[in-house]
Amino acid sequence: MIKKHKNVGLLFFLLLMVVIFVCLNVSTRLIGGNLKIDMTQSQRYSLSDASKEILSSLTMPVQIRLYISSNLATENPQYANYAQFVLRYLKKYQQAAKPDLIKIETLDPQPYSPLEEEAKRQGIKPLPDSGGKSNLYFGAVITNAKGQKAVIPNFISARSGYLETDISRILYKLNNSSKPKLGLVSPQLPLITHAYGQIIPNWAIVAQLQNDYEIIELKDNIVQIPGNIDVLLVINIEKLSPLFTYALDQFVLRGGKLLIITDAFSERQASTHGQNSAPTANLNALLQNWGLNVNNEIIAGDRTLGEITSIQTPQGTKAANFPYWLHLSKSEINQQHPATKGLDNIVVKTSGIISPQKNLGQTKYTPLLTTTAKGGNIAAKDLYAHNQAELDNLFNETSQQYTLAAEIEGKFPSLFNTNILAGTKFAKAMPSFLSYSIAPSKIIVIADSDFIVAENWADTSQTQNNPVYGLAPIYDNGSFLLRLLDYLTNRTTILGLSNKENFNTKSIGEELYMQTFNQYAAAYNKAQAELIQRLQLAKNYETQISQRLYPLTAQRAKEIEENNKAIQSLQLKLKQIEYQIKEQNQQKISSITQKNIIYFPLTCIILILLCYMYLKSRQKKKIEEWVHEARTH
């Protein structure tokens, strides 16, 4: 009887303890759930102040619908970790915002389900699974209360460093319903992002701009810039007409913000139009009036910043520092200027040189990109006539610091005395002529246009279905342009955002493969280069034969046959090398696995056993000595 009573008491006590346990945990979670330490080295889980500011200014609720396939982890392991991370990161936004302002919904679209249909309709793009079928989803649709939405078709881990910037920009965009208007003048950068139904990856920057701005394309022969334009972007105009000069002049005097990208030698144009492409227009009259000189005759170089490339010399290819392709780092990028603060790697190729006028008056000149103090130069016209090895020899080191991009701000006088169309009937429709600025303006000039070409600074392999969020930047060029425009449109909150280190470094498998490959790289590259030459030769023979340029002599036939044989043997050799690499890599992997699964535990056990046995024998000895001593006494 007593025992029964005791049992009930005990049970009750246990129940009480369990209740206390549950209450303690739930209340800790509710009250202190946000008390988290970010223990990652790159502070991956911490929102920047700028993001917090954007969150605190959110005026309406935002819903984030995250589509993640449940079999993502098993089918595509590279994405699994990143999916976890994205979810965590979005939760951080939710926690930092006012309660119930951000709602996150995680959805799992199964193949052939209505949810999958919905995901596709919303613009989420499927990823391939291990069987090659496209039925994995990992994207998000973010909508505000007004029904405006932003879609991330796929999250790609190569862009993970930009995750915060991307989400914060989207939230900012959804909160400010109208996009700023960007006037674009660029005869050589057409707004065509598709050619033959395909996205041109090199113009990825256009997609990035379209995402943030309403782009208004302008011709380079207009006489007036529309007044509703927030910022004007001028890229590589071929010829600066007097009418357009007037238009720019008056635009700036009215306080318009202007970003000019010019180039002394556009590698992009040289490669697309051949070597006889026209140099870009000389803006100097206009620029000098604002206080800037752009020297298009010489090109800046710097040995300390040059890109390491393989240069063809008569002795063969060698790796060398090419001084006109500059990799700028923190010390060459102005870290005080709000637009360039935090950027730490920008690539520019064959840039012109900018210098301030002696008499600046009321304006303020700020260099944005420079070379080091060990700069040098080369004449622009030399670039057309020489190969890389010769250019390398022609480099003239002047130990001078050159400026590659600069900002000038303030009030300016006009370049003109009167309205250029004065007296014609058009003049009446135009705003009145200004001889001096009525509002301060900001003008930024960049003396290189190749820096916006995406292949120079990003991996564009995944931009096909996902032009904005599928771009994986390697250098900060894209951020540089976007930030300059943010700066000119005065969006200071967004300027505070900075990109983080990428979450995804190489996997161990890739790293091992690279190591193995590097052992064979020289032989492999050599064989490949030879193969390309041989193939070119074969093609030449073919055209010659088909066009009947030469008679098919016996000797020629022999040559062709030899060439074909060489091609075959080269292809075989390449295959063999590939096989060797694969084999060796496989060996490496299995040796690592074996080491860790068999030898490592074995060594541990033996070491511990030896340790214990040593201690034990020492103790035994000690006791035996004592006993001996005790007995003799």
Partner 1 sequence: MIVAKNLSKNFNGIKALDSLSFCLNKGDVVALLGPNGAGKTTLLRILTGYLSPSSGDVEIYGHDPIKERVAVLSKIGYVPENAPLYPEMSTYEFLRFSAKLRNISPEILSQKIFSVIDNLQLYSVLNQRIETLSKGYKHRVALASALMHSPKILILDEPTEGLDPNQKFEMHKFIKNYSQQSIIIISTHILEEVEASANRILLLNKGKLIRDTTPQELKLSGSNYDIASAFRSMTGGSDNA
Partner 2 sequence: MLKNTLTIFTKEFMSYFRTPTAYIIIAVYLVLSMFATFYSSNFFMNNNIGLTSFFTYQPEILIILIPALTMKLWSDERRSGTIEFILTQPISYTSIILGKFLAAFAFGCLLLVLTLPFDLYVSALISLDSTMILSAYLGTILSIMFLTAIGCMISAFNTNSVLAYLFSVFMGWILISINFDFLLQPWMNLSENLSVKLTQSLNFYHHYQDMIMGEPGLDNLMYFCTLSVLALWINRIAIDYKKQ
The DSSP code for 260 is E
| 381 sits near partner 1 (criterion: CB under 8 A) | no
3 state SS of 548: coil
The DSSP code for 436 is B
Q: Among 272, 288, 387, 596, which residue sits at the site for partner 2 (rule: CB under 8 A)?
A: 596
Shortest Å, Cβ 608 to partner 1: 17
Looking at the Cβ atoms of 597 and 623, the one nearer to partner 1 is 623
Shortest Å, Cβ 627 to partner 1: 5
Binding site partner of 1, from partner 1, partner 2, none, Cβ cut-off 5-8 A by kind = partner 1
| 617 sits near partner 2 (criterion: CB under 8 A) | no
Applying the rule CB under 8 A, the residues between 183 and 202 that interact with partner 1 are none
Looking at the Cβ atoms of 384 and 626, the one nearer to partner 1 is 626
Looking at the Cβ atoms of 479 and 504, the one nearer to partner 2 is 504
Binding site partner of 2, from partner 2, partner 1, none, Cβ cut-off 5-8 A by kind = partner 1
3 state SS of 283: coil
Applying the rule CB under 8 A, the residues between 243 and 282 that interact with partner 2 are none
Binding site partner of 397, from partner 1, partner 2, none, Cβ cut-off 5-8 A by kind = none
Q: In what order do the strands lie in the sheet with 138-144?
A: 102-107, 62-68, 138-144, 149-152
| 626 sits near partner 1 (criterion: CB under 8 A) | yes
**DSSP codes joined into one string, 143-207:** EETTS-EEEES---GGGGGGHHHHHHHHHHHHHS-SPPEEEEE-TTS-S--EETTEE-GGGHHHH
456-468 burial, b for 16+ CB within 10 Å, e for fewer? bbbbbebbeebbb
Shortest Å, Cβ 616 to partner 1: 9
Q: In what order do the strands lie in the sheet with 396-400?
A: 298-302, 375-379, 396-400
Binding site partner of 631, from partner 2, partner 1, none, Cβ cut-off 5-8 A by kind = partner 1
3 state SS of 422: coil
Name which of 493, 496, 415, 484 is nearest 444 in CA terms: 484
Structure tokens at 537: 């030769």
Single out the segment in contact with partner 1 by CB under 8 A; choices: 13-21, 270-278, 450-458, 620-628: 620-628
* Beta bridge mates, 150: 142
| 612 sits near partner 1 (criterion: CB under 8 A) | no
Single out the segment in contact with partner 1 by CB under 8 A; choices: 136-144, 485-493, 535-543, 618-626: 618-626
Contacting residues for 403 by C-beta, under 8 A, at least 6 apart: 353, 354, 355, 367, 368, 369, 370
| 5 sits near partner 1 (criterion: CB under 8 A) | no
Applying the rule CB under 8 A, the residues between 61 and 100 that interact with partner 2 are 77-78, 80-82, 84-85, 88, 100
Q: Among 601, 610, 617, 625, which residue sits at the site for partner 2 (rule: CB under 8 A)?
A: 601
Q: Among 113, 177, 540, 593, which residue sits at the site for partner 2 (rule: CB under 8 A)?
A: 593
Contacting residues for 461 by C-beta, under 8 A, at least 6 apart: 201, 472
Residues of the shown chain interacting with partner 2 in the complex, contacts defined by CB under 8 A: 10, 13-14, 17-18, 21-22, 24-26, 28-30, 32-42, 44-45, 77-78, 80-82, 84-85, 88, 100, 157, 503-509, 511-512, 589, 593, 595-597, 600-602, 604-605, 608-609, 612
Residues of the shown chain interacting with partner 1 in the complex, contacts defined by CB under 8 A: 1-3, 619-620, 623-624, 626-627, 630-631
